[in-house]
Amino acid sequence: MPRRLAGAFFCLLAWTAPGANPALAEATLPAAVSAKILPDIPAMPATPKETRDDVKTKLAEVQALRERLDGVATDPQALLGVKPEESAEQRRLIESLVFFYQEGLNSLDATEAEQDKLKLSQAQASAWTGFPDPPPYSMLMLYGLEAEADALRGKQALLESSLVGWQDDSATLQTEVSSTQAAARLADETAQRAADPAESPSAVWRRDLALWRVRAAERKAWFKAIQAGLVNAKLAVVRADLALLDHKIETARPHAVLGETDMDKVRDGLKASARNLRQEQQQAVLENARWAKEREAASRNLEPAQAGPLQGGADIAAALQRETFAARWRAADAWVEATRHNTETLGTLADFQTHIEAFWNEQYTLLNSPDPLLRQNAFKQLERALARLHQAGSYTQDNLRLAVGEESDQQANLDKIGVDSPLRRYEMQTLEAYRLKRQTAERIRLLVDRSEHLLARWLDDYRQSAADQPVAERLKTGLSDAANGVVQVSRFELFTVHDEIDLEGKKLNITRGVTLGTLLAALGVFGVGFYLAKWFSRRFQRMLVRQFEIDETQSNVLRRWFLMGLSSILLVIVLTFARIPLTVFAFLGGALAIGVGFGTQTMLKNLISGVMMLVAQKIKVGDIVEVDGIVGTVIEIDIRSSTVRGFDGVETMVPNSTFLETKVANWTYTNTKLRRSVRVGVAYGSSTRDVMRLLLECASQHGQVLDEPKAHVWLEELGDNSLVFGLYFWLDIGHKVSSLQVMSDLRCMVIDALGKADIAIPMVRQDIPVEAVPPAPVDVGGAAVLDG
């Protein structure tokens, strides 16, 4: 009996398996397996109708098979040695085939609908010859067209991305088909080798199951191909619609204007949106109050439940009640937080409508104002607004990410709770609260994104329109923008000063800003004035030289001081003209002012010392002085220091205060006569009278030695080796006479004169006694050796 029942069930399976249609019936035969491994996937029929009819036929066959299997009360496959999981796989394969056939039919219908849409879009594009109304066109209409075009571009990018994904999956699908085909061939060989009649039905059944796998894999690839065709059809419609929209935009853009009527519509729309948001905010406030009461009620129920101890199994119900009260409190608290956040967000959105109106006002100025300065200011305002929106976008994105995370965590908690649990109701309320919070975050994020996109488009359009202008217009605009930029920079306030004015006998304290432009103008006026002051100072110097016969060097010093005085007066005049009070320099502050005072102390001291030197005339240019170990001629008296040129030609800058604080020897203060001396030593025994006479004759013979006062010779010292005489004479060094040169000349003349008179100039001798010392013995290896 079991053998007969197994045979009957085998016949049923042979009919209900892929052999339900003639092609698959042939595929059950061993000889036809390899040739009929793709029995119902022919090439694409000639027309969509044929494809649809073919798919409908196969769908009806598979649905009938599913109904037959569902109608069998006892699983016949278990009698054939088939495992339950294999039988379940067969059911899944049949269900997947039903799904692929049904969805394939739907995709074919959708593809035909998209093809009809494509024909309609192409017909509309061919029939469109322009807008019904003549230009100018409303800028709002242009913005609406651009918004539609942006939406279509987003859809186009999504469809193209899905096509790329399908292309990536096609290789995987083909690999899956090939692997199932190989497994089907192997199952067919196994069924042919089955010798035991009891094992043959199960082997044949598994071969047919392998064919079902092939059929499912092929239908999956076919369905994906149908889906790709649908995406291509949708993409063709999107591209056609986008091409028409781009054509409309290019037609309207050159003639689009933003008029007062458009601005009134924008303002009315923003006001209506703000009113709606305020109404929503009021509802959110009421909702928040309701949930706050609910939280208080939940808290009153929760506190007594948490106060009582739990003891044994009798308190399981009490523990569940406690958890329920806690879940209720959490749900109410989440709703209080969500409604509070929603209330704040709605208020922010309502207030943001004012900012959007300000954006539109700047755009109106940017498009319609004839003043380039106002346009430039509007452009800068929109740029700053765009930067702020970008920062706000990052903040809103973080809030949205946090809200999504909270919602996901609560969904995970809800999935862990059973359907019949009393906690599920409150956990569901908590999830809805997190969902509201996420929707609120999405709402403000969307508004910020749209506003940022709108401003970016406005700025790009303005830049593009500026780039499309003729060269002359662009040059004019560039110069105007540069001028406006200079004006903006000149209006930058560096600091403020406090000034006091007398108004009808009353002292008023006012605050005045010192801008960069004011400071630059003051510097420009000072530069021109300083140039004129230098010209006057040079004329003043020439007048001193020609009319007052002042030395060139001295007149140069006076010219510098005259220039410094004019510059000081000019500085005061410029500051007064620029309305910059002298108190402006007090902004440095007390500590800094003290530091500057100490730093400039030396400079001021030298400045005042220079003024005193010029007034007192104790030291003048051309004087020969000796100061701080330096001997030379004063060649310049400057503001901070004076220059002294030594007799060796080295010029040294000496601070002016040094001349007043230290001892200074001025060789030419009252006259230019200078006494110098030459010392000569002669041998003992020489005639002192002859030596003195010869020295005086040498002095008288030198042309630069003065006759008055007369030269003198003294016997100054009875030395160890000679008689020392000193020749003292006077020179007039005011006429660039070198005293060193005169002294050198006199020494040479004295040597010649003493040599002719046979008067010796002794050499200094020094005797060093040397004592002979005998060598010391040195002991080397026991033998005495004399060292040296």
For residues 640 and 654, the answer to whether their CB atoms sit within 8 Å is no
Separation of alpha carbons 27 and 132, rounded Å = 65
Mean pLDDT, residues 604-615: 69
Q: What contacts 501, CB < 8 A, 6 or more positions away?
A: 507, 508, 510
Separation of alpha carbons 172 and 392, rounded Å = 43
For residues 331 and 322, the answer to whether their CB atoms sit within 8 Å is no
Return the higher-pLDDT residue of 271 and 72. 271
Split at pLDDT 50, 70, 90, the class of 780 is: low
SS (H, E, C) 574-625: HHHHCCCCHHHHHHHCHHHHHHHHHHCHHHHHHHHHHHHHHHHCCCCCCCEE
State the chain's mean pLDDT as an integer: 79
CATH architecture assignment, domain 491-588: Orthogonal Bundle (1.10)
Give the pLDDT confidence score for residue 387 in this predicted structure.
93
Separation of alpha carbons 381 and 369, rounded Å = 15
Split at pLDDT 50, 70, 90, the class of 352 is: very high
Separation of alpha carbons 169 and 228, rounded Å = 11
Chain centroid offset of residue 669 CA: 70
For the segment 486-538, what is each residue's pLDDT rounded down to a tens digit? 777 777 777 676 666 666 667 667 676 777 777 788 888 888 988 898 898 88
Give the pLDDT confidence score for residue 748 in this predicted structure.
92
Q: Is 651 helix (H, G, I), strand (E, B) or coil?
A: strand
Give the pLDDT confidence score for residue 14 in this predicted structure.
34
Bridge-based pairing of strands 137-138 and 256-257 is: parallel
| pLDDT at 643 > cutoff 90 | no
Give CATH for domain 673-756. Answer: 3.30.70.100
Return the higher-pLDDT residue of 11 and 69. 69
DSSP states along 112-162: HHHHHHHHHHHHHHHH--S-SSPSSEEHHHHHHHHHHHHHHHHHHHHHHHH
Measured from the Cβ of residue 188, the count of other Cβ atoms closer than 10 Å reads 26
Split at pLDDT 50, 70, 90, the class of 756 is: confident
Q: Which helix or strand (DSSP H or E) is residue 264 part of? A: helix 260-307
Split at pLDDT 50, 70, 90, the class of 776 is: low
For residues 666 and 623, the answer to whether their CB atoms sit within 8 Å is yes
Which sequence spans correspond to the domains of the chain? Answer: 2-254, 258-307+317-485, 491-588, 602-666, 673-756
Separation of alpha carbons 287 and 436, rounded Å = 12
Return the higher-pLDDT residue of 292 and 635. 292
**Backbone angle region of 486, left / alpha / beta, with phi > 0 → left and psi within -120 to 50 → alpha:** alpha
Q: Which helix or strand (DSSP H or E) is residue 324 part of? A: helix 316-368
Q: Note the pTM of the prediction, 2 decimals.
A: 0.55
Tokens describing residue 555: 């007149």
Give the pLDDT confidence score for residue 242 in this predicted structure.
92
Mean pLDDT, residues 335-356: 93
Backbone angles phi and psi of 43, in degrees to 5: -65, 160
Smallest Cα–Cα separation from 383: which of 487, 463, 450, 494? 463
For the segment 222-238, what is each residue's pLDDT rounded down to a tens digit? 888 888 888 999 999 99
Separation of alpha carbons 216 and 96, rounded Å = 7
Give the pLDDT confidence score for residue 600 in this predicted structure.
62
The runs of H, that is alpha helices, within 132-259 are: 139-193, 200-252
Mean pLDDT, residues 177-192: 85
SS (H, E, C) 409-464: HHHHHHHCCCCCCCHHHHHHHHHHHHHHHHHHHHHHHHHHHHHHHHHHHHHHHHHH
Q: How far apart, in Å, are the Cα atoms of 581 and each of 283, 518, 527, 566, 586?
A: 60, 12, 19, 19, 10
For residues 241 and 233, the answer to whether their CB atoms sit within 8 Å is no
Q: How far apart, in Å, are the Cα atoms of 413 and each of 94, 292, 325, 434, 469?
A: 36, 24, 17, 13, 62
Fold (CATH) for 602-666: SH3 type barrels. (2.30.30)
| pLDDT at 306 > cutoff 80 | no
DSSP 709: S
| pLDDT at 34 > cutoff 60 | no
